[in-house]
Structure 1
Amino acid sequence: METLWLRAAALRAGCPLVCVSSADGGTGRSTLTAALGGILAFASPAPIVAVDATGRAWGGLGHRAPRGSSATVWDATLAAERLAEPAVAEPLMQTGPTGLRVLVGESKMTAQRRPPTWSEMFGLVGHLREVYALALLDLPAADNTPTWRALGWATVPVLVARASVDSLQHTMRLLAHLRAVGLTEVADGAVVVVTATSHTTAREVRAIEHLARQAAGHLVRVPYDPVLARPDPVDPRSLSKLTRSALTDIAAAVIDRCPVDLDQPAGSPPSN
């Protein structure tokens, strides 16, 4: 825990990019992004942002962050050229209970508002990285070229799987495909998060999870938690001790993969 806090306080300038995806749908990517982001924001003295990069007009981080305004990722797209200014970026953010800034998805599909295209999304993320210490992207499942491109750019790829045989096998195939197309560093550096869907886990699931642990760079199981199961804003402080411990393990694995300046005093701005 102390190491996590020290490294989070010493993140090097440049804003590491944490890309959250999965091999299939329904794994809880947005929930994990909000919960992990909340832990990281609590640990870091500098602001951290989570961005809904799903391109969907439903679900996503919009249900996982408290809403203080109507601003969405579309408003950020319109202001993209000025997003590198904190005075422009900050009013567009929803703020979680531990200080996580959240840029929620656009839920309207009208002539005036829509989810951004991939090129627009990559552009606005580039501007936001000039403002925030670390950025988490809530991505779609890795079944399209833009998501693979984002995983290739990631400082830390995070792959979320359900605690089921099918989902874990799909994740292992994704890791194998990443290596087969030359993205070995992505597969080797990936943090795999297994989300439990009940209080009990079948023996065959534990067996395939053991194989997945060998294939992944790091694997952490998040126990079933009824708070995470609800489609409500996530407050890491309301989770069970076991769940908070698992999320802290994931946060530590993420921060361990980010460049830091440990010679900087805790809480001081990192050097360039």
Structure 2
Amino acid sequence: MSVARALAGAPESSSMLTAERLLEGSRDTRRVPEGFWQKLIFTASGRRIRLADSKAAQARIALTARIAKPLTGGARFVPVLTRKGGVGKTTITTLLGMALADARDDRVIAVDANPDRGTLAERLSRRSEHTVRDLVRGADEVVGYAEFSALVSRDMTRLDVLASDTDPHISQAFDEHDYDVVARLASQYYSIVLTDCGTGIVHSVMSATLRHADTLVIVSGTSLDEARSAAETLSWLEANGYADLAAHAVVVINSTTPGTPPVRLDEIGKHFESRVRSIVRVPFDAHLATGAAVTFADLRPETRLAVRELAAIVVEGLPVGRPRKAGSRG
């Protein structure tokens, strides 16, 4: 029997006697199905006939479920790095953090660990005046999330950001020990800790960052030298005791300029596919090109989808149970 006949008052078939309709407490009346016809029929039937969500809605819900996969047993650390500046590393850190925080029920923080002047907090519209230095200096006074959260910037997606020092002479003093302090405190209150790394590979903060890492995100641009720099980042990791982290990494090919790039992105993709767990391409988005504060809802749908897919892939690469002890080498 067609839905139209059911709505017109024709006799119902036995298939209409669903558990959701007949059993108290089993009918979900809180969420309207997604899709034009789904909503129309649901409303016209007095909320009795619930068709499946549209395919687009089902895909979006499934992607959200992948991002929101529960993680138990302690914080996971995800550094975002590259050896070359200008490829959008800080932007990717911001977008990844927003996608995670927007979909998950637990807490997500992004730490600006750039030993030079970092700009991670500038990508948020609401910024705190406090920095990572304030947290390190007042570490003994942080006895709960209230004290920690007073030092962070917070986005509408609920992403927390711990800013770096704005004075490059001061920020140079941020070292391996300081990162360990930040990591210890952040792990008490957050499930996922992203780290926006500087472009240098050999400074002491990077050593601490890699020691805590559960998986890596490596950012490449779309030019030849940018792709080579990302590939050289992998080579350095492989040659310096982090081969497992390199093989398990996710490479983001980030388009920072409009138009068709002069290189073959498919060939760049093939190279990285042979070396890492997964790659994700993030398209150019004018909303990101200015370097100003990012509003996740204002991204192009294609950009938001790519970043959410990145978030899902990152979560899928994290240990589900208790991760290895913080401080172990990858």
TM over 0.5: yes
Query: Per-residue deviation at 1:237?
Result: 1.2
CA drift of 1:167 comes to 1.2
Q: Paired residue for 1:128?
A: 186
Counterparts of 2:116 and 2:236, CA distance in 1 = 25
1:140 aligns with 2:201: no
What is the one-letter code of the residue matched to 1:242?
A: E
Q: Using the aligned pairs only, state the percent identity.
A: 28
Task: With the length of structure 1 as denominator, give the TM-score of the two structures.
Answer: 0.87
Q: Which residue of structure 2 aligns with residue 160 of structure 1?
A: 219
Stretch deviating more after TM superposition (163-172 or 145-154): 145-154
- In the superposition, relative to structure 1, how do residues 108 and 211 fare at CA in structure 2: closer, same or farther (>3 Å)? closer
> Against the structure 1 CA distance between its residues 152 and 218, is the aligned structure 2 distance closer, same or farther, given a 3 Å change threshold?
farther
Uncovered stretches (5+) of structure 1, i.e. residues with no partner? 262-272
- The two structures, once aligned, show a CA RMSD in angstroms of 2.2
Q: Distance in 2 between matches of 1:84 and 1:151?
A: 26
Instruction: Note the C-alpha offset of 1:73.
Output: 1.4
Q: Distance in 2 between matches of 1:4 and 1:189?
A: 22
Work out the CA distance in 2 between the residues paired with 1:32 and 1:67.
Answer: 18
Q: TM-score, normalised by structure 2?
A: 0.72
The answer to which structure, 1 or 2, has the higher relative contact order (CA under 8 A, 6+ apart) is: 1
Name the counterpart of 1:99. 158
Measured after TM superposition, the shift of residue 56 of structure 1 is 2.2
CA distance in 2, matches of 1:123, 1:254: 24
Rg (Cα) greater in structure: 2
- d(CA) in 1 for partners of 2:192, 2:276: 23
Q: Residue 301 of structure 2 corresponds to which residue in structure 1?
A: 241
Is residue 96 of structure 2 the alignment partner of residue 33 of structure 1?
A: no
| Unpaired stretches in structure 2, ≥5 consecutive residues | 1-59, 322-330
CA distance in 2, matches of 1:224, 1:89: 35
Task: Give the alignment partner of residue 74 of structure 1, picking from 109, 130, 133.
Answer: 133
Q: What does residue range 1-272 of structure 1 map to in structure 2 within 5 Å? A: 1=60, 2=62, 4-5=64-65, 8-57=68-117, 59-83=118-142, 85-108=144-167, 116-146=174-204, 147-197=206-256, 198-260=258-320
Partner of 2:23: none
For the 8 Å contact 2:152–2:161, the answer to whether it is kept is yes
Number of aligned residue pairs: give it: 259
Name segments (4+ residues, structure 1) moved above 4 Å.
none
Measure the CA separation in 2 of the matches of 1:117 and 1:191.
26
Deviation at 1:67, TM superposition (A): 3.1
Contact 1:196 1:222 in 2 (8 A): yes
